[in-house]
Amino acid sequence: DSGVTQTPKHLITATGQRVTLRCSPRSGDLSVYWYQQSLDQGLQFLIQYYNGEERAKGNILERFSAQQFPDLHSELNLSSLELGDSALYFCASSGSNEKLFFGSGTQLSVL
Interface with another protein: number of residues (CB under 8 A): 23
Neighbours of 108 (CB within 10 A): 20
Note whether 102 binds another protein by CB under 8 A: yes
Q: How far is the CB of 80 from another protein (least distance, A)?
A: 26
* Residue from 80, 104, 108, 110 nearest 2 by CA: 104
Note whether 12 binds another protein by CB under 8 A: no
Q: Closest CB to another protein among 79 and 107? A: 107
DSSP secondary structure of 36-82: EE-TT--PEEEEEEETTEEEEE-S--TTEEEEE-TTS-EEEEE-S--
Q: How far is the CB of 48 from another protein (least distance, A)?
A: 7
Please report, as ranges, the residues that interact with another protein according to CB under 8 A: 2, 33, 35, 41-45, 48, 55-56, 58, 88, 90, 98-105, 107
